[in-house]
Chains A and B, each alone.
Chain A
Amino acid sequence: MRTFVLNLIAHRLLIAGLTLLIVSFAVFFATAMLPGDTASILLGQAATPEAVAGLRAAMHLDEPAVFRFFRWLAGLARGDLGTSYVNNVAVADLIGGRFVNTMRLAGITTLIAVPVALTLGITSAMFRGSIYDRIVTILTIGVISVPEFMIATSAVLVFSVYLKWLPALSFANEVTSFWQVLKVYAMPVITLAFVVSAQMIRMTRAAVIDTINTPYLEAALLKGASRPRAVLYHALPNAVGPIANAIALSLSYLVGGVIIVETIFNYPGVAKLMVDGVSTRDLPLIQSCAIIFCIGYLALITLADIVAILANPRLR
């Protein structure tokens, strides 16, 4: 039986690898096949045809696209992300420190969002149909149906315009005290936490309610267990798998959220780098950032699948 589970997981990982290949193919061709000759764009209108031809050869632009794709892929595998068109710096150096920043933002958000979302999700399932449950449900639907930037702008309006607790839309580089760190991270983290928790609350609530609707839980209630006891001791252990799955899946919403949040709060992370890269059409930078985000997203989704496999006792 163990080998069966291992096989399932290996199959999932294989699919993830295959997907990554297709995704990198899509990203490469979307950026490389489309109009505009990079060499002549780089050299400007005054360039001589010889100079353009020379640069094309130096950049391997005269080779077939498939060759360039594999060259690019091999570079990625070695950790060579190419050179930025705009300032001729290795893309890896541009991304380096910012990657840490983005991971820190995502990490802090996860630490805050997961406990809050689980508490709200489980308790609202426990008191299903109550006023409390309805308020939580309406709020989560509200957060899910509005764009992320609206949550960010609302946070700014509430915390810095009306309450004047936090600075608006600025990211100070000179951070000296712990208090300042807290102030600087507060707004981006609040926004991201809202986006991620709303999904997590919905999925957690649905997972717990699924378990509550089972005969054995009815039996627990009939033998006289209180509703909280029935949910916490009888339902929750069986909902751990779906809940872990829900956590990993909702964390994948970080990928979309972080793009908006880093831009609006001017946070020095990978997403901000990529958005800036789009306005200067810095293709190597965009490709690398896109692949990084795709890997993160795919890793979370695959993790969710594997957790679901591991948590299913029938497969163990």
Chain B
Amino acid sequence: MTLSTPFSSKVSYSFSWVGMVGLAIIVFWAVIALAAPHIIPYPIGEIVDEDYFGPMSSKLLLGSDYLGRDMLSRLMMGARYTVGISLAAVCIACFTGTALGMAAAVIGGWFDTILSRFLDALNSIPSKLSGLVVAAAIGSSINVLIVMLAVIYTPGAYRFARALAVNVNTMDYITVARTRGESILYIIFSEILPNIIGPLLADFGIRFVFITLLLSGLSFLGLGVQPPYADWGALVHENISGLPFGAPAVIVPSLAIASLTISVNLLIDNLPKKIRDRSA
């Protein structure tokens, strides 16, 4: 490795406290999402408050929604849909995008040109618009949502991975591997992938935020997750009539989305440099 002063080695391995806070909030929501069915205080469909848009109280910690159902329980179950759908979609998008991007960089030629042109064109459809068109055409079951979100964000992941892989592809050790007669798959997964994995992970996080925002936006329009299920965007959508009274049922799910997306951003911005810029 290069010369390392005591200062730089300390900085590069330690997490800043801001990053730790981000990580803590992400872990918190992940635990809630996993444990939700066992820890919710009331069944999510049960009407427990005779008043609708009830305020926060010791019985209903986050108040009640437009039908008088417990908001805390609905929020906890909503975490499953928001986090689960976004995570599934981002995994598919990043896997497909990265695999295609690395393949395009290594194979090059016509394969690269046509794929890049096509995916760039898909990238110039505004994401919300694709969401609306798909929702209109095939509706929005949870499986459709996952595939749709993954398809919308694959071109971006492809572009990012391809740009990184093109740089690595010019290195001498790739030429050596080629002359040695290694297969394309070997070059992609054993020579290129390990060298770009750090920035790819950061990109994974950013794309997770984009997907969460798009999913929430679609659900807010009433075109995302459909009742009886409700993610956080759908919770805002169904309780929007409580907005003029400043009901917690509208504010709390919005804050939940913001806390998740901002935490992911904070975590990525404060990742140790060793992980983030490993290819540099």
Hey, which bits of chain A sit against chain B, CB under 8 A? Answer: 18-19, 22-23, 26-27, 30-31, 34-35, 141-142, 145-150, 153-154, 156-157, 160-162, 168-169, 252, 255-256, 259-260, 263-264, 274-275, 277-279, 281, 283, 286, 290, 293-294, 297-298, 301
Interface of A is mostly: helix
Known: A35-B138, A145-B258. A256 touches B127 (CB 8 A): yes
How far in angstroms is the closest Cβ of chain B from A18? 7
Q: How far is the CA of A245 from the CA of B176 in the complex (A)?
A: 41
Q: Is B136 positioned at the interface, with any CB of A under 8 Å from its CB?
A: yes
23 A-B pairs in the complex with CB atoms less than 8 angstroms apart: A18-B117, A30-B133, A31-B136, A145-B213, A145-B258, A146-B262, A147-B216, A147-B217, A148-B217, A149-B233, A150-B254, A153-B251, A157-B246, A255-B126, A256-B126, A256-B127, A256-B217, A277-B136, A279-B222, A294-B125, A294-B129, A297-B124, A297-B125
Which residues from 127 to 142 on chain B have a C-beta closer than 8 Å to any C-beta of chain A?
Answer: 127-130, 132-138
Q: Is B83 positioned at the interface, with any CB of A under 8 Å from its CB?
A: no
Which of B126, B135, B213, B246 meets A293, CB within 8 Å? B126
Nearest residue in B to A25 (C-beta to C-beta)? Answer: B121
Is the Cβ of B133 less than 8 Å from the Cβ of A31? yes
Question: Scoring B residues 210 to 239 as 1 if CB is less than 8 Å from chain A, else 0, what string do you get?
Answer: 000100110011110000000001001000
Q: How far is the CA of A156 from the CA of B247 in the complex (A)?
A: 12
How far in angstroms is the closest Cβ of chain B from A298? 6
Q: Is B257 positioned at the interface, with any CB of A under 8 Å from its CB?
A: yes
Which of A19, A148, A160, A274 meets B132, CB within 8 Å? A274
How far in angstroms is the closest Cβ of chain A from B16? 15
Q: How far is the CA of A290 from the CA of B130 in the complex (A)?
A: 8
Which of A263, A277, A293, A298 meets B221, CB within 8 Å? A263
Which residues of B lie under 8 Å from residue A157 when comparing CB positions?
Answer: 243, 246, 251
Is the Cβ of B137 less than 8 Å from the Cβ of A169? no
Is the Cβ of A145 less than 8 Å from the Cβ of B265? yes
Is the Cβ of B243 less than 8 Å from the Cβ of A161? yes
Q: Is B93 positioned at the interface, with any CB of A under 8 Å from its CB?
A: no
Which residues of A lie under 8 Å from residue B132 when comparing CB positions?
Answer: 259, 274-275, 278, 286, 290
Q: Is B71 positioned at the interface, with any CB of A under 8 Å from its CB?
A: no
Q: Is B118 positioned at the interface, with any CB of A under 8 Å from its CB?
A: yes
Nearest residue in A to B138 (C-beta to C-beta)? Answer: A34
How far in angstroms is the closest Cβ of chain B from A30? 5
Q: How far is the CA of A154 from the CA of B251 in the complex (A)?
A: 8
Q: How far is the CA of A146 from the CA of B260 in the complex (A)?
A: 9
Additional A-B contact list (20), CB under 8 Å, known A259-B217, A283-B136: A18-B121, A19-B120, A30-B134, A31-B133, A31-B136, A145-B213, A145-B262, A145-B265, A146-B261, A147-B233, A147-B257, A148-B217, A149-B217, A150-B258, A160-B244, A161-B243, A275-B221, A275-B223, A293-B129, A297-B125
